[in-house]
């Protein structure tokens, strides 16, 4: 049943997710519109590639904090699976389709990782190891994100007994792969950016 609390949690999480930290940092750091550089994405990878390591790490931290704070807000207000997962999905939706940027945002990986960290930390850590290994071998951050997301439901099934979280992790994995469809095409063509590419 949808209640006023449900709507408040979902709307609040979406608005948290809509805060475009990558866009804002690029504006204040270099006075540029990050959407006009690199991949055009407002997330961690493009900020890192365009502005450097420090700005990239800052955006990563703040984008993860969006996911963490939305889930913790839901747990504080209404600690049920349905409310917590609604908040997690809403914060990722906000990051991907931010209200303030005409609904054109990031690819959910950092914000989704923050949400999952608050839900199932061990599966997230194992998915991060998949990401790290993939990036170390391939040098493709996008491929690491895709494989890390795909591995997440496996780790949730193995280390978390909550079936609702398993369903949620499958949704997240599918969403992440879909958001990286253009990256997959570039990887197959050999035109995807690698992390050793110099910043502008």
Distance, in Å, from the CA atom of 1 to the CA atom of 91, rounded to the nearest integer, reads 20
CA distances from residue 88 to 2, 46, 68 in whole angstroms, order as listed: 16, 23, 9
pLDDT in tens, 147-187: 999 999 999 999 977 888 999 999 999 999 998 998 999 99
* Predicted local distance difference test score (pLDDT) of residue 39: 80
pLDDT in the model for residue 156: 94
169 φ/ψ angles, rounded to the nearest 5 degrees = -65, -30
Q: What pLDDT, on the 0 to 100 scale, is given for residue 196?
A: 65
- Whether 200 shows a pLDDT value over 60: the answer reads no
Summarize pLDDT for 92-123 with one digit per residue, the tens: 999 999 999 989 888 889 999 999 999 999 99
Q: Give 35's DSSP letter.
A: G
Q: Which of 184, 132, 126 is nearest to 151 (CA)?
A: 126
Say if residue 8 is exposed, middle or buried (CB neighbours under 10 Å; 0-12, 13-18, 19+): middle
How high is the pLDDT of residue 126?
A: 96
Reported confidence tier of residue 194, pLDDT bands at 50, 70, 90: confident
Note the pLDDT tens digit of each residue in 17-64. Answer: 999 999 999 999 889 999 999 888 898 888 988 898 899 999 999 999
């Amino acid at each position: 049943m949808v209640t006023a609390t449900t709507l408040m949690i979902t709307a609040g999480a979406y608005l948290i997710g809509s805060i475009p930290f990558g866009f804002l940092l690029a504006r204040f750091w270099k006075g540029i519109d990050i959407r006009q550089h690199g991949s055009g994405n407002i997330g961690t990878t493009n900020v890192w590639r365009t502005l450097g390591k420090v700005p990239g790490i800052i955006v990563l931290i703040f984008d993860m904090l969006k996911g963490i704070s939305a889930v913790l807000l839901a747990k504080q207000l209404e600690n049920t699976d349905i409310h917590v997962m609604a908040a997690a999905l809403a914060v990722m939706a906000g990051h991907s389709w931010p209200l303030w940027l005409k609904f054109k945002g990031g690819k959910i990986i950092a914000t989704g990782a923050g949400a999952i960290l608050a839900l199932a930390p061990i599966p997230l850590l194992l998915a991060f190891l998949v990401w790290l290994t993939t990036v170390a071998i391939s040098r493709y951050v996008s491929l690491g994100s895709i494989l890390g997301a795909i591995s997440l439901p496996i780790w949730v099934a193995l280390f978390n007994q909550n079936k609702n979280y398993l369903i949620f992790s499958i949704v997240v994995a599918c969403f992440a792969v879909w958001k990286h469809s253009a990256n997959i095409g570039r990887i197959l063509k050999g035109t995807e950016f690698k992390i050793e590419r110099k910043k502008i």
